[in-house]
Amino acid sequence: MVDTNPRIWAFGGGKGGVGKSLVATNVGVALAKRGHRCALIDADLGGANLHTLVGGVDSKRTLSDFLERRVRRLEEVVAPTRIPRLSLLSGARALFESPNLKHYQKQSLLRQLKSLGFELVLLDLAAGSSFSTLDFFLSADREILVVVPEPTSVENAYHFLKAAFYRKLKTAARRAGVEPAVKQAMQERASRGIKSPRELIASVCDIDPAAGGWLQEEIDGFRPRLIVNQVRSPSEATLGRDMKRACRDYLGIEIEFIGAIASDGTVRRALQERRPSMVLFPTSPFSSSIQKITDKLLEGRRPSAQQDQLSEDFRVLGLEPGCRLADVISAHRRLKKLYSNPSLATFSEIDEKTRSANLARVEEASRRILLEVSGAIPVADLR
Ligand SMILES: Nc1ncnc2c1ncn2[C@@H]1O[C@H](COP(=O)(O)OP(=O)(O)O)[C@@H](O)[C@H]1O
Ligand SMILES: [Mg+2]
């Protein structure tokens, strides 16, 4: 088969039960429906369940057969699903003693994945921050973090991000031969007051500026995408934006918030029927959010034209980008009142045409900002 070098998207996030498998499966269905040939890989070796989420898969071989060398070629593990263009590589059936795979097992899995002829490969990762999970996460072209608006999930996500960051740093340092500076900084952690990845890099820069600069560049390429799942109110949806800011300020890690997904009753009904929500309820709020998230993952970083538009929208409302949701709502209310009817403040200064044009701009700007702040959920759906 041809080596098509598929793009790898990995779904991780530290905590179990947040929706990694559910989101990965449905993004896979969305991609297949759009014509992409893709594979879902159940890399949760301790708690494999993708075969149930996808439904109707008759996989005779699993990844454990490959990893334990009962089959030599990964191709033999690939099973078709009921959804055209979507294949599944089932996870291990037997519980692994340790979720940490040997280096050669991971390498051989990743190497063979590239020769299967898929355009996209979606890795559904286990909960936790084991080295295997971190390595699969870091091997991906898109590192996707799933959280729910609960303190334990957020805490786990930060822990996972830091663990991934340090693992990436270590590998990068080894590859560049700059380990001594990193090691020294780590050893002097307490005396140097290093508490975050950002401070670690700064210390490496002090010790060896060239090594620090090189690592910084390497780490700049680390830009995990964040999904906030099981959202029940608009204020919960702002967690994505808040976490993005906290990651930048406290960890020195840039993440990109790519959307929120509402907690949706149809999800459970689809699970009971063992069919993906994207198949049974393609227009549900859950499926609409999955579509928008899939768009964002495909397009990569937001085009700058869109970013410019958003800065302009904040300017129209007289706000700074990154302000609080409450500020957006009150600016919208105030300006709407100002431009809605000829008011005492505007009647002598603004003609009718300008007034209604201003009102339209305010409405349009508020709509775009609220949509951005709440992620993939149209704000109206949450009211
Ligand atoms: N958006 C959602 N709406 C409703 N229920 C959800 C949603 N996301 C996840 N769930 C529930 O959470 C459960 C755990 O999801 P799962 O994908 O298995 O988590 P993980 O893979 O992170 O352990 C699902 O079985 C489902 O019942
Ligand atoms: Mg799972």
Does the CB atom of residue 16 touch ligand 1 within 6 A?
yes
Confirm if 349 and 339 have CB atoms less than 8 A apart. no
Measured from the CB, is residue 147 less than 6 Å from ligand 1? no
Q: Pick the residue with more confidence: 284 or 212?
A: 284
Residue 380 has pLDDT above 80, yes or no: no
Calculate mean pLDDT across residues 264-280.
96
Q: 263 in ligand 1 pocket by Cβ < 6 Å?
A: yes
Residue 314 pLDDT > 80:
yes
pLDDT grade for 300, boundaries at 50, 70 and 90:
low
Our answer on whether the CB atom of 21 is closer than 6 Å to any ligand 1 atom is yes
- For residue 4, the model assigns a pLDDT of 55
As a whole number, mean pLDDT of residues 8-15 equals: 92
Q: How confident is the model at residue 342 (pLDDT cuts 50, 70, 90)?
A: low
Q: How confident is the model at residue 301 (pLDDT cuts 50, 70, 90)?
A: very low
Q: What is the average pLDDT across 238-259? A: 92
Work out the pLDDT band at 105, boundaries 50, 70, 90.
confident
Query: Is residue 46 scored above 90 in pLDDT?
Result: no
Mean pLDDT of 251-262: 93
Q: What is the mean pLDDT of the chain?
A: 86
Instruction: Tell whether ligand 1 has an atom less than 6 A from the beta carbon of residue 19.
Output: yes
Question: For ligand 1, atom 15, which residue shows the shortest CA distance?
Answer: 19
- Decide whether any atom of ligand 1 lies within 6 Å of the 87 Cβ: no
DSSP string, 132-158: HHHHHHHHSSEEEEEE-SSHHHHHHHH
User: For residue 56, what pLDDT is reported?
Assistant: 79
Distance (Å, whole) CA 154 – CA 259: 16
- Compute the distance from residue 252 Cα to the ligand 1 centre, in Å: 30
Q: What does DSSP say about strands 142-147 and 225-231: parallel, antiparallel, or unpaired? A: parallel
Q: Is the CB of 14 under 6 A from ligand 1?
A: no
Determine which residue's CA is closest to atom 27 belonging to ligand 1.
Answer: 268
Q: What is the predicted pLDDT for the residue at 92?
A: 67
Q: Given the CA of residue 23, which atom of ligand 1 is nearest to it?
A: 17
Residue 297 burial (CB count, 10 A): 22
Least confident of 32-41, 61-70, 72-81, 140-149: 61-70
Q: Note the pLDDT of residue 87.
A: 96
Indicate the top mutation candidate among 122, 233, 267, 287 to test ligand 1's pocket, ranked by most ligand atoms within 8 A of CB: 267
Q: Which residues pair with 124 in a beta bridge?
A: 11, 42
Predicted structure pTM score: 0.78
Q: What whole-number distance in Å separates Cα of residue 296 and Cα of residue 234? A: 20
Q: At what angle do helices 285-299 and 20-33 cross, to 10 degrees?
A: 70
Q: Of 12-16, 102-106, 187-191, 267-271, give the range with the top mean pLDDT.
A: 267-271
Query: CATH number of the domain at 7-147+264-301, please?
Result: 3.40.50.300
> How close is the Cα of 20 to the center of ligand 2, in Å?
5
| Helix or strand run (H / E) with residue 87 | strand 86-89
**179-187 and 209-220 helices cross at what angle (nearest 10)?**
90
User: Is 271's C-beta closer than 6 angstroms to any atom of ligand 1?
Assistant: yes
Task: Name which of 15-24, 47-56, 163-172 the model is least confident about.
Answer: 47-56
- Asked which of 107-111, 321-325, 354-358 is least confident by mean pLDDT, the reply is 321-325
* Ligand 2 center–CA 375 separation, angstroms: 23
Nearest residue (by CA) to ligand 1, atom 16, is 19
Band (pLDDT 50/70/90 cuts) for residue 142 is: very high
